[in-house]
Structure 1
Amino acid sequence: MSRKYVTNVDGVPPSPSPISNAVVVGNQCWISGQLSVGPDGKYQPGTAREEAERAFAHVFRIAEAAGFAPADIVYVDIAFIDLKDVPEVNVLYGSLFAEGRRPARTIYQAAALPFGGRIKVQAVAARS
């Protein structure tokens, strides 16, 4: 099965780590974890919702660069520094994905995230 490595996505700052933004294998797209990072590549602190909005914006841009739509996202993994932020991010999550078509999701609390971030989002997209 062929693979496509997605790097250098417009609107997504390059990672300081030696990774691809996403890897497409067949009809699936595996998107690397995204943080609240601005155009300059530096961490942008904010509320949990603000950080999640920036991280999801990167995830969606990467999915689109790989040839997938945000509606193709079938699984989301969200790491939180503080699980008290889950309700605030749930409101955003509910607005990003249509009811009845929301991706499966895992959430967990991490001891630390790169750059001191509060939230990291990674995802898997798939199409028929």
Structure 2
Amino acid sequence: MTKKIIGAPIMLPGGGTAPYSKAAEAGGLVFLTGQLGLGPDGKLAEGGIEAQTEAAIANIKAILAEAGCTLDDVVKTTVWLTDAANFAGYNKVYAQHFSASPPPRSTVVADFVLPGALVEIEVIAAARA
């Protein structure tokens, strides 16, 4: 089985590159790195869980597009929240983007390395032939 890396290397603030990729395609699937609610400026979206969920999904859409996919191709999501109290706000935004045929999903509560981050979403999508 071959693996294809999707996207350019991830640049770190100090000028180096991160030791992971945005996404990889293998075995007919596209695996994305978990996406935080970061805006185009690299800062956490302001406005709480809903704003960070929107930003995370926007990042997912952009990476999927690099792989020739859309949210309709997502076959599984894993979501981490820092606080179970944020579930309703996150779920509201998530449901707006995955309404037609929502993929299987796991949602767990965990701490994050990045202070202030409230949500991280990881997806697996079917690669388009």
TM range (shorter): 0.7 to 0.9
Which structure 2 residues correspond to residues 29-108 of structure 1 after superposition, within 5 A? 29-99=30-100, 101-108=101-108
State the alpha-carbon separation in 2 of the partners of residues 19 and 83 from structure 1.
28
Contact 1:43/1:115 (<8 A) preserved: no
Offset from partner CA, 1:13-37 (integer Å, 9 cap, x none): x453321000101310000011121
1:127 CA displacement: 4.8
Give the counterpart letter for 2:73 in structure 1. D
Post-superposition Cα deviations, 1:3-56, rounded to whole Å, max 9, x if no partner, equal 1101239xxxx4533210001013100000111212232333431010000001
Q: Which amino acid aligns with 2:25?
A: V
Cα 1:15–1:97 change in 2 (3 A) is farther
State percent identity of aligned pairs: 27
RMSD: 1.9
Give the aligned partner of residue 25 of structure 1.
Answer: 26
The residue number in structure 1 matching 2:4 is 4
Separation in 1 of the partners of 2:123 and 2:44?
20
Q: How many residues align?
A: 123
Please state how far the C-alpha of 1:91 moved relative to its aligned partner: 1.2
| One-letter amino acid of the structure 1 residue matched with residue 26 of structure 2 | V
User: What stretches of structure 1 of length at least 5 have no aligned partner?
Assistant: none
- The verdict on how the C-alpha distance between 1:41 and 1:116 changes in structure 2, with shifts beyond 3 A counting, is same
Partner of 1:116: 116
Quick one: distance in 2 between partners of 1:122 and 1:82?
17
Q: Is the 8 A contact 1:76 1:121 kept in 2?
A: yes
Matched-pair contact (CA < 8 Å) for 2:45–2:51: no
Greater displacement, 113-122 / 55-64: 113-122
CA distance in 2, matches of 1:107, 1:5: 26
In structure 2, give the amino acid aligned to 1:47. G
Asked if the contact 2:44–2:52 (Cα under 8 Å) also holds between the matched residues in 1, the reply is no
SS in structure 2 at match of 1:114 = coil
- Structure 2: runs of 5 or more not aligned: 13-17
